[in-house]
Amino acid sequence: MTPLEAIIRRRIEAEGPMPVAEYMALCLAHPEHGYYHSRDPLGRGGDFTTAPEISQMFGELIGLWLAQAWTDRGSPAPFALVELGPGRGTLMADALRAAARVPGFVEAAELWLVETSPALRKKQWEALGKYQPKWADRLEEVPAMPLFAVANEFFDALPIRQFEIRSGALHERMVGVEDGALTLGLSPAIGDEPLPDHAEDGTVVETCPAGRTIAAEIGARLAREGGAALIIDYGHDTNAPRGDTLQAVKDHAYADVLAQPGEADLTAHVDFRTLSRVSEEAGATGWSVRSQGALLDWLGIRLRAAMLAKAAPEREDEITAALDRLTEPEQMGTLFKALALSGDDIPPPGFSEELGA
């Protein structure tokens, strides 16, 4: 039994079953045994790989996206360049190297990294120290100024609540202990979350209260201070409930979400429709969601891949494989999506209405 499982069991024994969101929050962010707290989970030697760790092209194109969005808004100076959940800092290092070609961008940027993990803050310092970053636990701590923000695979790591519909009522999914093991069960009927449309018995519905709070904060800042934000993650862009999407990954393979709490990464599909709606309610413009493949194509990933391959012919196969992994529909191209938000009606790069998703 992991040390965290012992803590979770004691808590359940004392207070009764806990909502899935509380379980997920403990697994990911317990101050001593939380998954992200003490380790770097990324890359080959870790549990999973993300787009910026696959290829430098990803961060570079996002850097150009940020710089173009900044230029289109009159190059405000100073501004807050914010990354939520920066992992190893790879995306931002690639982004700043590429965006440095846009005069004034790096000089005007005050770099803020929203990160709770001490282990990853250290990695970020190693990758980004020369830009004198500042760290915040929450976006609220970043001072008020024009905001240009990016979040890749951040929202999928925020705790979700899960509900099941039984006889027309919502019951929350709870983690309890039965026969000496952690198990999933249901709470009595509750009324604090609205029933989705067309809800059928047995349907699992997920909500992400932390994601909604952060999207509303981004939207309010963009509306007040100006700027643009890009949210990339795996998930869906529909109103219909998508069922149970909570998953555990360890050593690059799926695992049981209740096995080894604190030792596996837990994520859930991001509900882009809700993030967009919530930030619009806070005053921002939410642009039509694009697939990651379509956005990277629009930003010129094929040209960039060709340039890299020309500069290093011995790496051509590796570059082509990375390009396919990031853009092909059966790889990350379609499941991963991008949502752009802005404080105005200027289309962010790749989000003008004409482009198909």
Contact footprint for ligand SAH (CB under 6 A): 36, 42, 50, 52-53, 85-87, 91, 114-117, 120, 152-154, 157-158
- CB-nearer residue toward ligand SAH: 85 or 262: 85
Count other C-beta atoms under 10 Å from residue 302's C-beta: 13
- CB-nearer residue toward ligand SAH: 29 or 175: 29
Strands (E) across 167-264 are located at: 169-178, 181-190, 204-207, 227-236, 247-250, 253-255
To ligand SAH, the closest distance from the beta carbon of 152 in angstroms equals 4
* C-beta of residue 339 within 8 angstroms of C-beta of residue 287: yes
| C-alpha to C-alpha distance for 68 and 102, rounded to whole angstroms | 8
Q: Tell me which residue of 47, 66, 67, 117 sits closest to 89, measured CA to CA.
A: 117
In the chain, the amino acid numbered 239 is N
* C-beta of residue 161 within 8 angstroms of C-beta of residue 18: no
To ligand SAH, the closest distance from the beta carbon of 297 in angstroms equals 20
- CB-nearer residue toward ligand SAH: 91 or 264: 91
Q: Decide: helix, strand or coil at residue 263.
A: coil
To ligand SAH, the closest distance from the beta carbon of 114 in angstroms equals 5
* C-beta of residue 189 within 8 angstroms of C-beta of residue 231: no
To ligand SAH, the closest distance from the beta carbon of 91 in angstroms equals 6
- CB-nearer residue toward ligand SAH: 87 or 347: 87
To ligand SAH, the closest distance from the beta carbon of 89 in angstroms equals 9
Q: Decide: helix, strand or coil at residue 5.
A: helix
Residue showing tokens 């005007």: 108
- CB-nearer residue toward ligand SAH: 35 or 70: 35
Angle at 47 between CA 59 and CA 116, to 5 degrees: 65
- CB-nearer residue toward ligand SAH: 87 or 350: 87
To ligand SAH, the closest distance from the beta carbon of 260 in angstroms equals 18
| C-alpha to C-alpha distance for 20 and 18, rounded to whole angstroms | 6
To ligand SAH, the closest distance from the beta carbon of 242 in angstroms equals 21
The region, left, alpha or beta by phi > 0 then psi within -120 to 50, assigned to residue 234 is: beta
> Which secondary-structure segment (H or E) carries 237?
none
| C-alpha to C-alpha distance for 30 and 25, rounded to whole angstroms | 7
- CB-nearer residue toward ligand SAH: 82 or 174: 82
To ligand SAH, the closest distance from the beta carbon of 204 in angstroms equals 23
| The two structure tokens encoding residue 290 | 């694009």
- CB-nearer residue toward ligand SAH: 71 or 247: 247
